[in-house]
Amino acid sequence: MKSGRIGRRDLLKGSSFIAGVAIAGAVPSLAGAEEKQAPAWDLETDVVCVGSGAAGLSAAVAATDAGAKAIVLEALPIIGGTTQKSGGVFWIPNNFTIRANGKVDAKSDCLRYIARFAYPQQYSPDSPQLGLDDHCYSLIETMYDQGTIMVDRFREIGAINPVPFDLGPGHPVSDYAGHLPENKLPIGRALVSGGGNAYMGGTLLIKSMETWLRAKSVSILTSHRARKLVYENGQVTGIEVDHNGVTLRIRARKGVCFGSGGYAHNKELTDLYQTSFYGACARAGSRGDIIAMTGAIGARMGTLGTAWRAQVVLDEAIENDTIVATEVFVPAGDSMIIVNRRGERVVDEKRDYCSRGRVHFAYDPVAENYPNQVLFMFFDSRTQDRFGGNYPVPTDVRESPYLISGETVEELTKNIEARLAKYATRIGHFSLAPNFPQGLKTTIVRYNKFARQGRDEDFSRGAQSFDVDWDPLYSSVRKGTKTPDNNMPNRTMYPIAGKGPYYAFMLGAGGLDTSGGPMINARAEIVDYANKPIPGVYGAGNCVASPSREAYCGAGATIGLAMTFGYLGGRNAATRS
């Protein structure tokens, strides 16, 4: 090999140019005298896709399918992003299974559902764009129009193999706000890669797209972190990448398409844009690099304060510096409630994680603080014994360092106060109200009445389809349990015992990942402050401003968006003249 540069270009053409290993071998020759002259391109291709999750791989599939050459950059040493550890479900309106079953997912109805859920303050059912401005309306319209086209095309070329998503034979799931009257087809929009179960979907989805790309000799370069866009003469022409401390310049003849995830693990950004955000189960690569990269070339930012929300066990998130293995998707148990610093319930505990996670931000304008900043998942020994093993409830109480217990409500209160004190400087010295134990006891009496009558007069727990569909998955009965079955009229509730021991987890606001960043248009082009596309740069998934704001429309809402707009970004970049 004569020089590093020639070597790297040759590698692109060759089959050895598959992983960072090949490049790493070529990099040392960069120190050669010849290489120190004006930096030209180290590699070139048509479309550079940043990130190897649902958005980035969809972009690469679409670009390749459209006849372009593509490469995928992945900052972490492993492929797949948060998508790989997810359920891999993708929410696609009017998809092929709906049509094959003879059902109708009418565009006007579906858009009403999305608009009503995503923009409750603006929603106007009788206006032509449902009360939304051109930009927002065009994005939700694109979700409907293009998602199904993407799925059909990806199926046709064999990049994915989706089937309807259900929680077991004969157990289809309803959309997260399936109870809204605007939702005329609450079941059927969720798809998942065939051949697995609810826990394997993400792995299968990534594997199927990765296999397709590798068969087309598309390189997926791990440990290649995009750092800076090359912007010349008013357009993006390439990208600078950090690979093990060495900067590579990659030319993108047609464009760069970002699918680089949110910024959940960048504390500077979460402190800046979120009200409070203690942790996320997103992979460590979610650092929001796109914000500085596209901000530097004038991209307009949108929905920076949004996230796909969920609650995290506060201690776990703090101890692990924001990275948690999983979140409290649906809190386990029936003799269980979530209360605030006054011991009062604040939410339907069985609602979906994204909507439920938003109750942390209620503001008290007299105390000038957030009374729900930390919430407490409170339960008795029935829930511990019967549902132990469903996160966060441990199979054995000795397993979880984060579990707080007490023989009485008073003892539990003391132990919660001690735990809060331990993290005082991390949580703004948040404390329990002096009347917490009395408040909790009053709440228990009221909750127990609701459990016996089967109707939650305060928060309608168990009345929504989501509550009853998903609860069994997160409250499966522990083998060897000694506590009786739930014989109450509403199986999501059971009276809390009059005697301890009692248990609690501290819950903080967190997310699967954030969902704000540069704004895109209906072609997945990143736009500037005049809403004009910045030539040569596209984005999709959690790294861009969410097209459905914070509405988690149904199972698969985030990956559906990532794939739909990733497809558009990859295809539009590939066909750019």
Ligand X SMILES: Cc1cc2nc3c(=O)[nH]c(=O)nc-3n(C[C@H](O)[C@H](O)[C@H](O)COP(=O)(O)OP(=O)(O)OC[C@H]3O[C@@H](n4cnc5c(N)ncnc54)[C@H](O)[C@@H]3O)c2cc1C
Token look-up 């203690």 returns: 278
Which one of 2-10, 50-58, 211-219, 334-342 is the stretch in contact with ligand X (CB under 6 A)? 50-58
Residues 325 to 364 in contact with ligand X, rule: CB under 6 A: 326
DSSP 212-241: HHHHTT-EEETT-EEEEEEEETTEEEEEEE
Q: CB 356 → ligand X: shortest distance, Å?
A: 15
71: three-class secondary structure by DSSP: strand
54 binds ligand X (CB under 6 A): yes
Which residue, 88 or 279, is less far from ligand X as judged by CB?
A: 88
Give the type of residue at 408.
T
CB of 480 to ligand X, least distance (A): 27
DSSP letter string, 22-55: HHHHHGGGGGSGGGGSS---SEEEEEEEE-SSHH
Q: Which is nearer to ligand X, 56 or 343 (CB)?
A: 56
Q: Looking at this protein, which amino acid is placed at residue 201? A: G
Stretch that binds ligand X, among 8-16, 82-90, 134-142, 475-483 (CB under 6 A): 82-90
Closer Cβ to ligand X, 516 or 541, answer by number: 541
- What are the φ/ψ torsions at residue 97 (nearest 5 degrees)? -75, -35
User: Please, which of residues 85-144 interact with ligand X by CB under 6 A?
Assistant: 85-90
Cβ neighbour number for residue 161 with a 10 Å cutoff: 14
Report the residue number, 87 or 392, with the smaller CB distance to ligand X.
87
Burial code of 526-549, b = ≥16 C-beta within 10 A, e = fewer? bbeeeeebbebbbbbbbbbbbbbb
Please identify which residue in 11, 12, 55, 338 interacts with ligand X, judged by CB under 6 A. Answer: 55
- Binders in 197-216 for ligand X, by CB under 6 A: 201
Residue 371 makes contact with ligand X by CB under 6 A: no
Q: Which of 27, 187, 209, 226 binds ligand X (CB under 6 A)?
A: 226
Among 5, 23, 45, 52, binds ligand X (CB under 6 A): 52
State which of positions 281-310 bind ligand X (CB under 6 A).
281-283, 285-287, 289, 308
Q: Is the peptide bond before 172 cis (omega within 30 degrees of 0)?
A: no
Taking the alpha carbons of 290, 295, 301, 303 in that order, is the dihedral positive or negative? positive
Q: Binding to ligand X by residue 558, rule CB under 6 A?
A: yes
Total residues in contact with ligand X, by rule CB under 6 A: 44
Stretch that binds ligand X, among 59-67, 230-238, 253-261, 416-424 (CB under 6 A): 253-261
The answer to whether 465 and 185 are in contact (CB under 8 A) is no
The amino acid occupying position 430 is F
Residues found in the chain = 577
Q: Specify the pairing of strand 43-50 against strand 246-258.
A: parallel
Please state the closest distance from residue 192 (CB atom) to ligand X, in A: 7
In angstroms, give the least distance from the CB of 358 to ligand X: 17
- CA-CA-CA-CA dihedral for 456, 462, 467, 469, to nearest 10: 180
549 contributes a contact to ligand X by CB under 6 A: no
Rule CB under 6 A: is residue 75 a binding residue for ligand X? yes
Q: Interface with ligand X by CB under 6 A: which residues?
A: 50-56, 73-76, 81-83, 85-90, 201, 225-226, 259-261, 281-283, 285-287, 289, 308, 326, 512-513, 541-542, 556-559, 562
